[in-house]
Amino acid sequence: MSIDWITVGAQIVNFLVLVWLLKRFLYRPILDGIDAREAEIAQRMREAARIRAAADGRQAEYEQQIAALERMRADALDAAQREGETQRKAMLEDARKRLRQEADERAAHRAETARAFAADLQRAGGEALLSLTGKALRDLAGETLESRIVERALAQLPDRGRELAMASERGRTALALTRDPLPAQTQERLRVALSEVLPDARLDFRTDPARPLGLGLQLGGVQVDWTIESYLDDLAGRLDELAAATAKMGVSDAA
């Protein structure tokens, strides 16, 4: 166990040389390589972070666009719904109006039909009544009835005086027409009554079995009748007036 100091010195030198060699060929390249790789990794991480930030920004931008589109879609949907609702209400209102119009038309038609039916019924009733009345009067007609008619004519003769006076200008002889011969008393009363209206007129009497029951007075081309037929005609006229008044009332109610 000895120490060779020359070898010691040489080994120290060798060690220092080895330190330099390893620093030159081992530590520096390895550490520099590690540092470079770390720097590259850091650079890539920064780049990745930058790309990630850009991607996040794009994502946020797209999300905003999507939200805007969603809002636009919701707005358009609301507008379409509102428009649809408006159109639906308008169509419903139009349909209701048409329905009301059709209902009014149907009501008017029904009223017209009812009025026509009522008029027809009234007319038929009137005709039936007229027919029955005429038949009853004809069946019941007799001397007494004819005398009653003449009595009625005597009462109304003054009212027809003006008409008869105008007719008397063309003839002075009046002719009383009956189906059956009038009693003498009745004839005298008729002659007196006519003389009161037409003092200058002369009255003749004539019977005609074909005539309707009642009195007909001819003077100067004018004939005034107080017969059952005239009564029935008067009744028919009144029934017609009543039917016309009823129809007018029905039209005003339908309107």
Partner 1 sequence: MQLSPDDTVIFTILGIGINATIANTWVIMAVLAGVSALITRNLRPDVPPSRWRTALEVIVNAIVGQIAEITNRRDPRILYFVGTLFLFILAANLLTVVPGFHTPTASLSTTVALALAVLAAVPLFGIASRGLGGYLRTYVEPSVVMLPFNVIGEFSRGVSLAVRLYGNIMSGAVIAAILLGIAPFFFPVVMDMLGLLTGVIQAYIFAVLATVYISSATATPPANESGTEKETS
Q: Choose one: 17-25, 122-130, 214-222, 236-244; the region binding partner 1 (CB under 8 A).
A: 17-25
Minimal distance, residue 42 CB to partner 1, in Å:
12
Site for partner 1 in 22-41 (CB under 8 A): 22-23, 25-27, 29-34, 36-37, 39-40
- DSSP code, position 177: E
9 touching partner 1, by CB under 8 A:
yes
Nearest to 126 by CA among 248, 221, 242: 242
| Tokens describing residue 21 | 């060699």
Cβ closer to partner 1: 31 or 68?
31
Q: Locate the DSSP E strands across the chain.
A: 173-178, 202-207, 214-219, 222-227
Q: Which amino acid is at 161?
A: G
Minimal distance, residue 47 CB to partner 1, in Å:
15
For the beta sheet containing 202-207, the strands, ordered from the edge strand earlier in sequence to the opposite edge, are: 202-207, 173-178, 214-219, 222-227
- CA–CA–CA angle 162, 164, 170 (5° rounding): 120
Q: Choose one: 6-14, 47-55, 79-87, 187-195; the region binding partner 1 (CB under 8 A).
A: 6-14
Q: Choose one: 9-17, 96-104, 125-133, 241-249; the region binding partner 1 (CB under 8 A).
A: 9-17
Cβ closer to partner 1: 26 or 124?
26
Q: Choose one: 19-27, 125-133, 156-164, 220-228; the region binding partner 1 (CB under 8 A).
A: 19-27
Query: Measured between alpha carbons, how far apart are the two ends of the chain, in Å?
Result: 149
Note whether 142 and 214 are within 8 A (CB). no
62 touching partner 1, by CB under 8 A:
no
219 DSSP β-pair partners: 174, 222
Cβ closer to partner 1: 15 or 62?
15
Cβ closer to partner 1: 8 or 128?
8
> Which value, to the nearest 10 degrees, does the dihedral of the CA atoms of residues 65, 69, 72, 78 take?
-140
42 touching partner 1, by CB under 8 A:
no
Cβ closer to partner 1: 19 or 116?
19
Minimal distance, residue 50 CB to partner 1, in Å:
20
CA distance linking residue 190 with residue 152, whole number of Å: 11
Binding site for partner 1 (CB under 8 A): 1-5, 7-12, 14-19, 21-23, 25-27, 29-34, 36-37, 39-40
